[in-house]
Copies of this chain bind each other. A is one copy, B any other.
Amino acid sequence: MEAQSLLNNKPERAPLQNDLLLRAARGEDVERPPVWLMRQAGRILPEYRAVRAKMGGFKDLVESPVHASEVTIQPVDILGVDAAIIFSDILVIPEAMGLPYELVEKVGPRFPEVVRTVQDLKRLRTNVDPEVHLSYVLDAIRQTKRDLAGRVPLIGFCGAPWTIFCYMVEGKGSKDWALPRRLLWEQPAFAHSLLDSITEASIAYLQAQVKAGADLVQIFDSWAGVLSDGLYAEFMMPRLQRMCDALSPLVPVTVFAKGGAHLLPQLADLSCHTLGLDWQTDPRKARQLVGEEKTLQGNLDPSILYASPEVIRKKTQEMLSNFGTRRHIANLGHGVYPDVNPEHVKVFVETVQKSA
């Protein structure tokens, strides 16, 4: 009922009062770098945990537009970040394709069913319709845009085809993803087919997110780091390019390939606006490899937020100086760790915001 009313209610789009993120992504002049944090909407905030405690489980929260929207906006209110990112999970795509996921507390994601053969692919839904199969995310985006009322941009996201492929094949987390990598060599036809299906669903999903109000989209390739240059070029780059080509005429696009320092030379050729860097990647070297035509996002070591405020300030300033003032979106090099003190997160955010 609520979902239906949201669907019928065309979201109002207040003009953005803070569009630093979008200007930095497009390479326009900015007074200072914008700053947000991966996983900012989540366990670090007591206010999040209070909402979470009212829900049955993590998925109930993801699937409740009102509550997902509430926790999406919390870090804007509490931490003062320059962007919101919709509270959701990359695993909603496999679920929309017909493989439901579970999130087991302290263990991680689990898929009761997986796909490992061409035969298995017949069980998957083709033609994922985001307005039908992922309406809860789109409703959450519409709700969030209304409630943000233009204060900061809203980031939409999805997983990269490789990362989603890993979960759909393995069915759970893995250190080295040997099984999905095995299938690239042993069953390339299966791999290409599944990767294509994921890519098509993801493009439709991101386009629907933009239509619902996302001002920028980020593609998370969390497991890029286990692939060699050659495999990435053959299996992943054409699909990422397709995604960037489909989205970048609409909104700025960010690609974050974790562990992917070795992939930067090829990622630089994507038609995206921004490349995310993990904390192991040197910003100066990344700039040399990538050239001047992309914005770089990152990359403070998330573990530095365990240090004292003085150390956090010093390391954040060092990071800012390594990136330089042009085409930089300040962030951590990976998601914020859940047991970090929110006051320490504020020190990071404020250090960037005072750097003008």
Contacts and interface: CB of A to CB of B under 8 A. Distances in A.
B176 A173 contact: no
Interface string A281-311: 1100000000000000000011110110001
Contacts of A327: none
A282 B337 contact: no
A185 B259 contact: no
A307 B186 contact: yes
- Which of A176, A301, A302, A311 is most buried by chain B, counting CB atoms within 10 A of its CB? A301
Contact of A303 (B175, B178, B229, B303): B178
A229 B334 contact: no
Given A229-B282, A262-B280, A262-B281, 15 more contacts: A176-B334, A178-B302, A181-B301, A181-B306, A185-B304, A185-B306, A185-B307, A186-B306, A226-B280, A228-B280, A228-B301, A231-B301, A259-B259, A261-B261, A262-B282
A160 to B, nearest CB: 16
A27 interface: no
- Which of A173, A280, A281 is most buried by chain B, counting CB atoms within 10 A of its CB? A280
A182 interface: yes
Number of copies: 2
Contacts of A307: 185-186
A225 interface: yes
A279 interface: yes
A140 B125 CA distance: 56
B311 A185 contact: yes
A184 interface: yes
A337 B177 CA distance: 11
B185 A280 contact: no
A182 B225 contact: no
Contacts of A301: 181, 228, 231
A259 to B, nearest CB: 7
A230 B142 CA distance: 43
Contacts of A261: 261-262
Interface in A219-235: 225-229, 231
A307 B234 CA distance: 15
Nearest to A337: B178
For the complex of A and B, the 6 pairs showing the least CB-CB separation, nearest first, are: A181-B303, A185-B307, A182-B306, A185-B306, A262-B280, A178-B337
A49 to B, nearest CB: 18
A304 B231 CA distance: 10
Interface string A181-203: 11011100000000000000000
A42 B261 CA distance: 32
B184 A303 contact: yes
A37 to B, nearest CB: 15
Contacts of A259: 225, 259, 280
A102 to B, nearest CB: 18
Interface string A220-256: 0000011111010000000000000000000000000
A280 B226 CA distance: 7
Contacts of A262: 261, 280-282
Contacts of A302: 178
Contacts of A311: 185
Nearest to A108: B175
A259 B280 CA distance: 10
